[in-house]
Chain A
Amino acid sequence: SAVISQKPSRDICQRGTSLTIQCQVDSQVTMMFWYRQQPGQSLTLIATANQGSEATYESGFVIDKFPISRPNLTFSTLTVSNMSPEDSSIYLCSAAGTVNEKLFFGSGTQLSVL
């Protein structure tokens, strides 16, 4: 298993600003993923964070809006840029030792944009 520390746990931000969310895993993992969970909705995959290369984004998500870093096998960041109220959501990072084996999740970041 893996323990994932995610921070901040929540934040209230002003429109037009940016927020960077950090995830630290207690062991080396191959794959890290960033999800968004909007109220009453299921989890939606934003991107897969690849160590040593650019993140792979899902349809509807772009690097300029959600830049991701993955400097090593235990750490990743997601930035929500130029925020608007529509970005208010829970953001979750997850990790798996190999793709699509058991997923482990951080505790999530509750983001509110005013």
Chain B
Amino acid sequence: KQEVTQIPAALSVPEGENLVLNCSFTDSAIYNLQWFRQDPGKGLTSLLLIQSSQREQTSGRLNASLDKSSGRSTLYIAASQPGDSATYLCAVSRNRDDKIIFGKGTRLHILP
């Protein structure tokens, strides 16, 4: 059974710092991995999607990496801003027709 773990559960960093959020999954046979952002009282916004054949994806100040063999992904946020404060969730799917399994998320707070 696939399990997705995100550490830390919460993180506070000063504005301007670079930071890394971690995601691990128990079954390395994944189809893809996605990182989402969730603002309080809101739905989820897809940030990056990495296919199983890819090692990383970049969008602006965000970079997500994937190491299938070790069951890990990281989300790197450069030059953090207060607007980056949100909960970040990662999610994996085993194959194209399988459901997506979510981690519990990391609550990120950027201090002005």
Contacts and interface: CB of A to CB of B under 8 A. Distances in A.
Interface residues of B, number: 25
Nearest to A48: B99
B103 interface: yes
Contacts of B102: 42-43
Contacts of B41: 9, 107-108, 110
Interface stretch (B13-21, B64-72, B74-82, B89-97): B89-97
Contact of A58 (B4, B31, B32, B99): B99
Nearest to A96: B100
Contact of B42 (A40, A45, A48, A107): A107
A102 B100 CA distance: 11
A103 B34 contact: yes
B112 interface: no
B98 A100 contact: yes
Contacts of B97: 99-100
Interface string A84-114: 0000000010100011111111111010000
The winner among B43, B95, B99 for most chain A CB atoms within 10 A is B43
A9 B40 CA distance: 12
Contacts of B46: 102-104
A41 B104 CA distance: 5
Interface of A: 4, 6, 9, 40-43, 45, 48, 58, 92, 94, 98-108, 110
A47 to B, nearest CB: 10
A100 B42 contact: no
A100 B100 contact: yes
13 contacts: A6-B43, A41-B104, A42-B89, A42-B103, A43-B89, A99-B97, A100-B31, A100-B32, A102-B49, A103-B34, A103-B91, A103-B100, A104-B46
B62 to A, nearest CB: 15
